[in-house]
Structure 1
Amino acid sequence: MANGNSAASFWTQANALLRKNLTFQKRNVKTNVRLIMFPFLLCLLLVLLQRLVDSQLDKAENKCGCVCVRTQGDTCLEEKCGLEYSDLDQVATCPVPNPVEWPPLLQVPAPRYRAVRTENFPFSGYPDASCRTNASCPVTMLFTGANQSFGEIISGNMIPSSFIPINNSAAMASLAANVAGSSSMTEDTNFLEPAFFSDLPIYYLQSQCTQNSTFSISFELSAAISRSQELVCAEGLLLWRNSASEVNNELYKGYRKSNPEEQIEEIAAGYDFLNSNRRIFNVSIWYNSTYKNDTGSTQIALARIPRSVNLVSNAYLQFLLGPGTKMFFEFVKEMPKPSTPIKFDLASLLGALFFTWVILQLFPIALTSLVYEKQQKLRIMMKMHGLGDGPYWMISYGYFLAISIVYMLCFVIFGSLIGLNFFTMNDYSIQFVFYFIYINLQIALAFLLASVFSNVKTATVLAYIGVFGTGLLAGSLFQFFVQDTSFPRGWIVVMELYPGFALYRGLYEFSQYSFSGDALGTNGMRWGDLSDSTNGMKEVLIIMFVEWLLVLVFAYYIDQVLSSGSRKSPLFFLKGFQKKPHSSFRKPSIQRQKSKVFVEMEKPDVTQEREKVEQLLLEPTINQAIVCDDLRKVYPGRDGNPEKLAVRGLSLALPQGECFGMLGPNGAGKTSFINMMIGLTKPTSGRAFVQGLDIRTHMDGIYTSMGVCPQHDLLWESLTGREHLFFYGRLKNLKGSALTEAVEESLKSVNLFYGGVADKQAGKYSGGMKRRLSVAISLIGDPKVVYMDEPSTGLDPASRNNLWNVVKRAKQDRAIILTTHSMEEAEVLCDRLGIFVDGGLQCIGNPKELKGRYGGTYVFTMTTSMDHEKDVENLVRGLSPNANKIYHISGTQKFELPKDEIKIANVFQAVETAKRSFTVSAWGLADTTLEDVFVKVARGAQAFDTLS
């Protein structure tokens, strides 16, 4: 195997992971196409729905009205269209070359809202609340200024004392001669004044109303539109206040704040004459801006405020020139307009909800990918082969960011190409900044939540519930709060701290600007609009940007504290400020000092190994590949069960060039020991050094020279065997031709090179092929320490022998720890063996030493009829009085014969003699096997544990 010689640099590791991710992405082209098609299909759906809506709006009954003026038979020769032939449902689409002249109106509160004196509104001059019972409350106007007598004269001229009769032939023009008003809301255009097309009456102001003060006017807008409107007298109440602050106070107290059904004390207007006198006319006017329509139109200032200005101007002229002087304010009118089709931008209306779902689709993809690597232990596998946290975070984050950017670009470009106003009308630079910040925040959230989940299915289900739940909650609840101007803005900001609501708010603002821009013929959102107090985009961008940075830092912190293989102290970031402790590897283990009783019970060979470790720890440098000093692992008890002692004070020294085999029954602690050595779990106590580095504090350094073949194959199913080896070879700093050569040698050594197997995806490998690939991964790059957990499991005899040859060659210049249940494998590969039982090392030595130490017997087996079982037993007792029967069933008996009491020739002679007396079906004499030693040691240890 080729040697990487040194640890791979940051950029080499990043390059390896990037290449692996790109290869993985290439394998998932169909998945990527389906991902990209989702926003395409959704945009197409919106286009189809828009076409359907447009086709319904384009019907004749919705177009400007037409009439045939010249016919020939059933054929219309000439048709005229226009406002005069339209009804109220059609006039919006008609051209209006000569807009209708509407009489100027005041904005007058409805009778039930007019200001009266109450406990909560205890100001002087207002009528009692009883006037509301018969709708006779006056319309109040407040006045103030520097000169009260001047102000009272001017205000007294504003409200007429008599009603000028209406001429029905010119109803609109003659109504302007009176001071008229309405409580109706304005529209965003004034082609049809809403006051004359609602069920609300028109009010005319008088200083005093008479009993017969209700009239009716009729007017005709076109041949298809005629209306009759009720005129109701409203008494004007003029109240003087000493200062502008008093006026402000009363106006604020009576302001319409939220629920229109609550008690409201509305005042029609306020006037501050300031320093006005006979030579100076300087007036400030308060008006009620509550009566804007839903689009926030300022049409009220164009249509209703001019009458307030005209009233006070006329009053001042009458003060100067006499009561007969008057500026006649005849009408207000719109600018001419061409014909306009009915528009209803469905994509902008539904865009906030639909596009929230589109963008959130990226979140489950990133989350499940990260959780998959965690669940399959692929990340820790990469880490154990030298991949640092820095390259992993940089490449993984950049990988998801690149996918998200491509996804969003396709989304925006496609939406623009098919003409969705949501994209085309809003500034693309604002869209880029918004989407870029959010997808970064979304990726950071995926990294944070990946540390919480350990199962892909659970993460996937909860992620998609979050996606659709966020959209539904935002569309049905959060949007309601945003549209409610009385809802505290602070709580809106609090809700926007949830990233899904922040995303929805930004998309909602885009949709509102595109919808209103399409309806009014204006632009969508521009950077200057972010300063608008009603625009929430600025606060959303700030919230998401700050959250992105905070979540990213917190996600990295949680990953370092909780992630397997890199778990650190919660205060690990203060490590640089802490005083570095003196090297402690020469100090005796505290746990060992507390375990003298256990040490006294150890076998001599185990004690000798412990003493060897103590001696090594006293040397200036540890020249052994692996040194374990009283390593101990205890799993805490759960659900009322006692704690589990998995590894009991293990001491072991392993030099370079040795293969150490760990034998033991299931649950003996072998895998727990390896998990501690490779960083999956931390030891409860004790220490271990790999190449002189402590596993408790320097695992990142150990990983650069370590190889692992785990008990279960940790492979990417969509990558080939060759791609696996190229990836892990790059992590071991192999480059160029050395990398290619090492990969080919590895594939050949484990018999995966020929027949196209190397280029087959690992998910299509058999179990044995996966094991061979895992062994090749553990050995590539010349690691100095290799852990193999049952490497030959599932292999056929030929593949197993081939694998043994690979391990034999590999152990020449590296230390290998190998666990196995195959005694044959242990004898062939291992220079030394250790038998584990219940977490403790029971014996240690090479296979011959163990058989000699624990197997000083022959095993004699004989099968006869059941009638001669006693004869067989007598035969054995004659050969060795200390023989021990170890097996007996249906005429077959096994005995252990001490080697120092018998000779093999005597056994053969005794059997030949016995054959003359009774029939012997089968017999045999065998030396002790390693399996016998294993069984004997395991049973002895378990019996001792039971007694103790």
Structure 2
Amino acid sequence: MPKSRSVNKMDFASLAGTIFFTWIVLQLFPVVLTAIVYEKEQRLRIMMKMHGLGDGPYWMISYAYFLTISALYMLCFVGFGSMLGLSYFNENDYSIQFVFYFIYINLQIALAFLLASVFSDTRTATVAAYIFVFGSGLLGAFFFEHLIKDASRSLLVFLELYPGFSLYRGLYELGQYAIEAKSLETHGMTWENLNDSYNGMRDVLVIMGFEWLVLLLLAYYIDQVVTCGKGPLFFLQNSRNKNPSTLRMPTLQRQGSKAFGDMEKLDISNEREKVEKLLQDPNDKSHVVICDNVKKVYPGRDGNPEKFAVRGLSLALPRGECFGMLGPSGAGKTSFIEMMIGLTKPTFGTSYVNGLDIFHAFGTNCSLLWETLTGREHLLFYGRLKNLKGSVLTNAVEESLKNLNLFHGGVADKQAGQYSGGMKRRLSVAISLIGNPIAVYMDEPSTGLDPASRNTLWNVIKLAKQDRVIILTTHSMEEAEFLCDRLGIFVDGRMQCIGNPKELRGRYGGSYVFQMTTNSDHEQEVEDMVMNLSPNTKRVYLLAGTQKFELPKDEVRIAEVFQTIEHAKTRFTVYAWGLADTTLEDVFIKVASSPRKIESNVLSTD
């Protein structure tokens, strides 16, 4: 009786186990697809590419990793089935099973790489993958299995082009031969049985092997065209010389730059001329970062016109300078930073860091954070990427943690996923500075920090800029004045002015700001008094007795203002008054809100 039960169990596994074994084997597909899409969604592949990992090694490493995981999974699958005494595994030739499962897991990995180009969200990819898993099993059991017995061979071959049906047919044939071997006490499927007219395993192996190669090549082609942005005929193009020693040359034609320069302000045109002179002399290493007429245009979608994010930006930055980019939201600052670190490619122009083209000499790093790694582990990882080793690496990590207030209270050994927004920003700054990089780009580094942490961060950045170039974007005028040697105000994708804070205030802030608060009855008297100081005075604010005026500096003496106020106090009550120089915030508002020049002429030069 026990023996009879055992036989029945093994027969059931061979007969009804096809759908369950199909689901078990297909469980690998969501794992592979989700992992690939996750790297795409989190820009991990871009970061690895920026650190020097080429497309070929990436594919080889990723494919080998998934193949190893899949092979171990299938080895456990067959091994446990054999140990349980299932005739499904014990009766059939193990070499046939090995070839069948090996070809299929390769086909499954190739299919995952191909479908990864369709998805950009991990959740969507996971849902679609599990629909594929359970749908393939159900369709195989309730639709395809009935066709195996009745349909023609040509129809079956056509249906087996769908990988789920190929897997189901192969498992079905293994189950049928196992049942036959147990019932007739013969051997299960062997290599000789592949010639049987009713055995579809040979067709399945040929179809899956062919599809494996085709899907793998198609996935690589789509990846290069869609993800990497290469042309459809990239494989026919001759490879360019990418020797870094010859990259700093003005190879791109700056069409229309002279016409564009005629419309620019003097400081912008001077910066452009400086860039052109530097590019004509490859031996001049005085400037670390050079942007050569960089432009970024996003194509129009859904009937909308093209979006000009950056319009012909030229910039030259020497070592030891912190350059700040100010501008309203949507001005193009982040697009510029992304081009400078290699996340996106410019539509036109290029940039050089220490004489190397950043789009060919992969020397930029992006400080991405992983939620499961601690702050210390992040710094150790990025430090090794920057060639730090041994005690030098350990000391650099400890110093970075202490400087950014990430050392005490066990913060350094907490996972980054548990960090607050401010702590993550401090960790990102620490990552960007470790290893003494020659150029550092920061996108609003102090946003969300409390005053104490912000002050600590500023001191670290100010100390770090002494031997490197730092480019940062910010909305904080206080941060810009404290850190930056030069500032550029960026509006509508175009640099409007460049200079140090004092120069910008002198250039765009040629007025004093005078404010006085009195009774409402004396508003007109106050206005007449200020107009007597300067006829060109402009009132910009009036509310409940409080008035604010802009007084031209070249028409007003400060001593005269004090004398006038003292005389006014004898005639009416003055609750409060003040005279201030133009602030950087006033300059920013004035430049950002100033009327644009006619854009049609500018767009024609772009």
What's the TM-score once normalised by structure 2's chain length? 0.91
Match of residue 334 from structure 2: 671
- Give the one of 429, 432, 436 matched to 2:98: 432
How far has the Cα of 1:766 moved from its partner?
A: 0.5
Determine the structure 1 residue equivalent to 2:202. 538
Alignment partner for residue 585 of structure 2, among 907, 927, 931? 931
Q: Deviations over 1:355-384 (max 9, x none)?
A: 111111111111112212222223323433
What corresponds to 1:822 in structure 2?
476
2:219 alignment partner in structure 1: 555
Matches within 5 A, 1:561-640: 561-563=225-227, 566-576=228-238, 585-586=249-250, 589-593=253-257, 596=259, 598-621=260-283, 623=285, 624-640=287-303
The residue aligned with 2:452 is 798
Give distance in 1, aligned partners of 2:196 and 2:394. 62
Structure 2 residue matching 1:755: 3-state secondary structure: helix
The one of 2, 9, 13 aligned to 1:347: 13
Question: Secondary structure of the equivalent of 2:408?
Answer: coil
Q: Is the 8 A contact 1:591 1:686 kept in 2?
A: no
Structure 1 position 458, deviation (Å) = 1.4
Q: What is aligned with 1:646?
A: 309
Match in the other structure for 1:183: none
Correspondence for 1:753 among 404, 407, 419 = 407
Unaligned runs of at least 5 residues, structure 1 = 1-50, 59-339
Tell me the residue number matched to 2:41: 375
Closer/same/farther in 2, CA of residues 491 and 654 from structure 1, 3 Å limit: farther
* CA deviation map 1:142-196 (0-9, x unaligned): xxxxxxxxxxxxxxxxxxxxxxxxxxxxxxxxxxxxxxxxxxxxxxxxxxxxxxx
Distance in 2 (alpha carbons) for counterparts of 1:400 and 1:920: 78
Separation of aligned partners in 1, 2:65 and 2:447: 36
Using the TM superposition, name which of 685-694 and 418-427 deviates more.
685-694
How many Å separate the matches in 2 of 1:944 and 1:728? 47
For residues 708 and 439 of structure 1, the distance between their equivalents in structure 2, rounded to whole angstroms, comes to: 34
Match of 1:517 among 169, 181, 202: 181
Taking a change above 3 Å as real, the CA distance of residues 546 and 726 of structure 1, as seen in their structure-2 partners, is farther
CA distance in 2 between partners of 1:812 and 1:548 (Å): 55
Q: In terms of Rg, which structure is larger?
A: 1
Aligned partner of 1:502 in structure 2 is 166
> What is the CA distance between 1:576 and its match in structure 2?
4.0
**Cα distance change of structure 1 residues 641 and 820 upon mapping to structure 2, 3 Å threshold:** same
The offset of 1:790, in angstroms, is 0.9
Deviations 1:489-546 (A, max 9, x none): 2333333232222211221121111111122222222233334343332332333334
Give the CA deviation at 1:342: 6.9
String of CA shifts for 1:117-151, please: whole Å, max 9, x gaps. xxxxxxxxxxxxxxxxxxxxxxxxxxxxxxxxxxx
Say which structure is richer in helix: 2
Q: How does 1:777-926 map to 2 (within 5 A)?
A: 777-926=431-580
Moved over 6 A (4+): 340-344, 578-584, 943-948
Distance 1:785 1:386, change over 3 A: farther
Contact 1:862 1:924 in 2 (8 A): yes
| 1:440–1:732 distance in 2 versus 1, CA, 3 Å | farther
Q: Which amino acid aligns with 2:183?
A: A
Give the secondary structure class of the aligned counterpart of 2:256.
Answer: helix
One-letter code of the match for 1:424? N
Answer whether contact 1:708 1:786 (CA < 8 A) is retained: no
Aligned partners of 1:543 and 1:890: how far apart in 2? 85
In structure 2, the gaps of 5 or more residues are: none
CA contact (8 A) 1:444 1:552 kept: yes
The answer on whether the counterparts of 1:349 and 1:515 sit within 8 Å (CA) in structure 2 is yes
Contact 1:375 1:455 in 2 (8 A): yes
Distance 1:543 1:572 in 2: 29
CA offset digits 1:37-81 (Å, max 9, x no partner): xxxxxxxxxxxxxx9xx99x97xxxxxxxxxxxxxxxxxxxxxxx
1:22-41 aligned at under 5 Å gives the runs none
Residue aligned with 2:373, SS: coil
Output the amino acid matched with 1:872. Answer: V
Aligned residues: 599
RMSD: 2.8
Q: 1:809 to 1:402 in 2, by over 3 A?
A: farther
2:248–2:352 contact (8 Å) kept in structure 1? no
The code of the aligned residue for 2:531 comes to: R
The residue type paired with residue 394 of structure 2 is T
Q: Distance in 2 between matches of 1:579 and 1:628?
A: 21
Compute the displacement of 1:764 (Å): 0.9
Q: Which amino acid aligns with 1:467?
A: V
1:838 and 1:757 map into 2 onto residues whose CA distance is: 40
CA 1:504–1:469 in structure 2 vs 1: closer, same or farther (change >3 Å)?
A: same
- Structure 1 residues 458-469: aligned runs within 5 Å: 458-469=124-135
Deviation of 1:789 after TM superposition, in Å, equals 0.9
The residue correspondences of 1:702-741 to structure 2 (distance < 5 A) are 703-704=362-363, 706-708=364-366, 714-741=368-395
C-alpha change, 1:341 and 1:694, in structure 2 (3 Å) is closer
Letter in 1 for 2:351: A
- Which residue does the alignment assign to 1:200? none
Are residues 392 and 757 of structure 1, via their aligned partners in 2, closer, same or farther at CA, if it must alter by over 3 Å?
Answer: farther
Q: Which residue does 1:316 correspond to in 2?
A: none
Q: Is the 8 A contact 1:663 1:835 kept in 2?
A: yes
For residues 183 and 196 of structure 2, the distance between their equivalents in structure 1, rounded to whole angstroms, comes to 20
> Taking structure 1 as reference, are residues 520 and 741 closer, same or farther at Cα in structure 2, changes over 3 Å only?
farther
8 Å Cα contact 1:707/1:777 also seen in 2: no
Deviation at 1:579, TM superposition (A): 8.8
